[in-house]
Amino acid sequence: MVLEGKLLEPWVTEVRALFSQRVPPLLPRLDLSALTFVDAAGIELLQNLLREGVAVESCSAFVATLLRLNDEREVRRPDEQ
C-alpha cells in the first residue's frame, strides 16, 4: 500500500479502516517514500501498524526519523531501490 502526500488526523480513520478490512494472516507492506508530512495522529497510526506487524517497504529519512525506525526493521529508502 502506498501512502502519499500528508497523513493528517482527518485521514487516520480512513487508513485504519483499510487495514481493518484485511484478511489475516496477510499483512500489507507500506510504501511511505512519497509521504511528505505526518502529524501526531498519523505517527501514532503508523507506529500502531508497525506494532501489529505491518512492514515498511520504503520511506524517506524524514518519516523514518519520525517513526524512530532503525536498520533492524530493514527499511529501504527510495534511493536504495
CATH number at residue 54: 3.30.750.24
Per-residue model confidence (pLDDT) at position 34: 94
Which cell numbers in the block locate residue 69?
525506525
| pLDDT of 79 higher than 90 | no
Q: Residues 13, 42: contact at Cβ < 8 Å?
A: no
**pLDDT (tens digit per residue) in 48-63:** 998 888 889 899 888 9
Total domains in the chain come to: 1
**Residue 41: domain span:** 2-80
Per-residue model confidence (pLDDT) at position 26: 62
Q: Rounded distance, CA 8 to CA 75, Å?
A: 22
| Portion of the chain with pLDDT greater than 90, in percent | 42
**pLDDT (tens digit per residue) in 29-39:** 899 999 999 99
Q: Residues 63, 38: contact at Cβ < 8 Å?
A: yes
Q: In this predicted model, which residue has the larger pLDDT, 17 or 24?
A: 17
